[in-house]
Amino acid sequence: MRLALAEAVEAGRRGEVPVGAVVLGSGGEVLAAAGNDREAGADPTAHAEILALRAAARARGEWRLSGCTLVVTLEPCTMCAGAAVLARVDRVVYGAVDEKAGAAGSLWDVVRDRRLNHRPEVMLGVLADECASVLTDFFAGRRR
């Protein structure tokens, strides 16, 4: 989560909403890390999770990320939660809860929907205060 936080902080420095994500391989090795890049890339899908999942798939040479863990500073949205399910990650770990758009237990629970053929394990609240603080500070600065 510390690496994901570093990615989030860097994204914030670039003017992006400060969310960071890391994909870990089955042995705990870092396969990919990314921060949001929607503004710079003019890409609505350039969420940290999507970018990290894409890079991890390239690193492994396949789209199935079985055995992997997606670590993200903010609870994934529906798009990112769906991507985690489709990528077949074994677990999703996140820090701050997103009550407005979260899809890993808050507003929706895409990752544990029994109608889907894959349901990753979910661990939430890892360094939650630090993850939330990065976002709170970013938006407070934008309002000033």
Query: Does residue 116 come out as left (phi exceeding 0), alpha (psi in the -120 to 50 range) or beta?
Result: beta
Which residue in 63, 115, 111, 72 sits closest to 95, CA to CA? 72
Handedness of CA 77, 78, 82, 83 (dihedral sign): negative
- Please state, in angstroms and rounded to a whole number, the distance separating the CA atoms of residues 68 and 77: 19
Note whether 68 and 24 are within 8 A (CB): yes
Question: Is residue 80 annotated as involved in ligand binding?
Answer: yes
CA max distance for the chain: 46
Q: Which one of the listed residues 7, 10, 16, 49 is annotated catalytic?
A: 49
131 annotated to bind ligand: no
Count each helix (H run) and each strand (E run) in the chain, helices first: 5, 5
Q: Give yes or no: 10 in active site.
A: no
Binding-site members for Zn(2+) are 47, 77, 80
Binding-site members are 47, 77, 80
Catalytic residues: 49
